[in-house]
A = this chain, B = another copy of it.
Amino acid sequence: MTLPGPAPRDPIPALRDLLGERLLTSEAVRAQHAENEAWYPAALPDAVARPASTEEVSRLLALCHAAGMPVVAQGARSSLEGHHLAIRGGIALDLTGMDRVLAVHAEDLDAVVQPGVTRETLNAHLRDTGLFFPIDPGANATLGGMAATRASGTTAVRYGTMREAVLALEVVQADGTVIRTGSRARKSATGYDLTHLFVGSEGTLGIITELTLRLFGQPEAQSAAICRFPSVAEAVATVIATIQMGLPIARIELVDAMMVRGFNLHADAGLPEEPHLFVEFHGSERGVAETAALFGEIAADHGGQSFRWSQKPEERRALWSMRHNAHHATRRLRPGARTVSTDVCVPISALAEAVAVAQEEGRARGLMQAIVGHVGDGNFHCGILVDPEDAGEMKRVKEFTDLLSDLALRLGGVVSGEHGIGMGKIGKMEAQHGPALATMRAMKEALDPKGILNPGKLLP
């Protein structure tokens, strides 16, 4: 028989000594950090901590580690899978105050930022350099949060995801140790790839306190267009042909008729309620013209018509702003409803089948949904409008999302392309990974043996 050791001390007083007024325990502030954009129930943290430096994050983690208290990193809290919810209490680690752009190396096409910098803030900062940061998940998320969820969005088909965009990280580990995972060099063959281990780890292996990010030169020319199609199948066929021809597109996005209705309600878009593709080309003046002409031919072969081109920056901004507000526009379709968002990603050859099944099976279950997709990557979302109090409806939604996940796996794809696991997809990890799940558990055990980092997320 082993005798219990001394109970770990409550770390809150020591955290108050460390952070002063930046440790908040009022009901109102905790309630604010308990909410989410999706449909998950609110989850109150014991306290909200607002560190100002890596040093403070390190000391905070050392204290929480000693006490066995959960720490849940939070950024813009725009996650759609409940990643940032403190479902087992503990500290909501609000990193939005660490929001400085530390360096821009224009000549090397990289920038060093704190985790609370948002993508829009970074791009505003870069405006006069001729450079930009391309990853664009729609929401004005923090870059730390985007790295932690391996986010991507509309430009991944051209510029990759946060997997490709992060060159190096500074990470505070569970016990407070601070490490750097890489350098500013473009290539490295110097041991295990810790950068990629932390990108997508959803705050469960360490806290990202600094990011070195790849930047790109602003293209000489940009051109965007929307174009309507007689059916989702024809729009998807256009996408597949475009990708397989290797056309250098910067964005290629599908929206179905229901989504267009949402845009009309939300943004007064005045579009015919039919499936559309939103596309964009980046390059030299000539290159963009050449690509756009080729795309026009492919689209016409599949019944694409009513092309509306936008070359001017403000027109393009308006177009993508409409697309980025898909989440809010979807909600206009059923006021008061919450949104369950699916996120499967399949090989492009399987995309038409996957979208067709999603449409049919959603309809068969009487679900109201709008479909949007980063279809150039084989990734699409069904935004299903739900009343979380309606048990019957939630049961049908669960059946539908399970069916879609199983379909993605059968087609050689994944249950999440970019939203992450969080709480929402945790039940799919076994089916997705099989024996590799034990390997992931070994990583977690090695780096967070006490399980204080975002407990209850990612790993079942």
Which residues does A use to contact B, with CB under 8 Å? 105, 107-110, 149-152, 156, 161, 163-164, 173, 177-181, 183-194, 196-197, 199-201, 205, 216-217, 240, 243-246, 284, 286-287, 290, 343, 345-349, 377-379, 408, 412-421, 425, 428-429, 432-440, 442-443, 445-447, 458-459
Known A107-B240, A439-B179; judge A420-B189 contact (CB<8 A): yes
A197 touches B200 (CB 8 A): no
Which of B108, B163, B183, B284 is in CB contact (< 8 Å) with A349?
Answer: B108
A447 touches B458 (CB 8 A): no
- What number of copies of this chain does the assembly contain? 2
A108 to B243, CA, bound (A): 9
CB-nearest residue of chain B to A177? B435
Which of B413, B432, B435 is in CB contact (< 8 Å) with A179?
Answer: B435
A191 touches B440 (CB 8 A): yes
B435 touches A190 (CB 8 A): no
A351 to chain B, nearest CB (A): 10
Report the 6 A-B pairs with minimum CB-CB distance, sorted nearest first: A196-B196, A217-B246, A179-B436, A446-B446, A107-B349, A185-B413
B188 touches A417 (CB 8 A): yes
B345 touches A434 (CB 8 A): no
Known A189-B151, A192-B205, A445-B446; judge A347-B163 contact (CB<8 A): no
A135 to chain B, nearest CB (A): 12
CB-nearest residue of chain B to A433? B191
A252 to chain B, nearest CB (A): 13
Known A200-B189, A419-B189, A435-B177; judge A183-B287 contact (CB<8 A): no
Q: What 5 additional pairs, Cβ within 8 angstroms, besides A110-B347, A150-B189, A194-B440?
A: A107-B349, A108-B347, A187-B378, A191-B433, A197-B443
A191 to B187, CA, bound (A): 24
A457 to chain B, nearest CB (A): 10
A413 to B184, CA, bound (A): 6
A440 to B152, CA, bound (A): 27
- CB contacts (< 8 Å) of A183 on chain B: these are 412-414
B435 touches A178 (CB 8 A): yes
B446 touches A190 (CB 8 A): no
CB-nearest residue of chain B to A246? B217
A154 to chain B, nearest CB (A): 12
A178 to chain B, nearest CB (A): 7
Best-surrounded residue of A178, A417, A425 (most CB of chain B within 10 A) = A417
B418 touches A189 (CB 8 A): yes
CB-nearest residue of chain B to A440? B192
A412 touches B185 (CB 8 A): yes
A228 to B244, CA, bound (A): 38
A216 to B248, CA, bound (A): 12
A209 to chain B, nearest CB (A): 14
- CB contacts (< 8 Å) of A414 on chain B: these are 183, 185, 187-190
A375 to chain B, nearest CB (A): 11
A166 to chain B, nearest CB (A): 11
List 28 interface pairs A-B (beta carbons < 8 Å), by A numbering. A107-B244, A109-B243, A150-B193, A156-B187, A177-B438, A179-B434, A179-B435, A180-B433, A183-B414, A184-B413, A186-B348, A187-B345, A188-B345, A189-B419, A190-B414, A190-B415, A190-B416, A191-B200, A191-B433, A191-B440, A191-B459, A196-B197, A217-B245, A217-B246, A286-B287, A287-B287, A287-B290, A442-B447
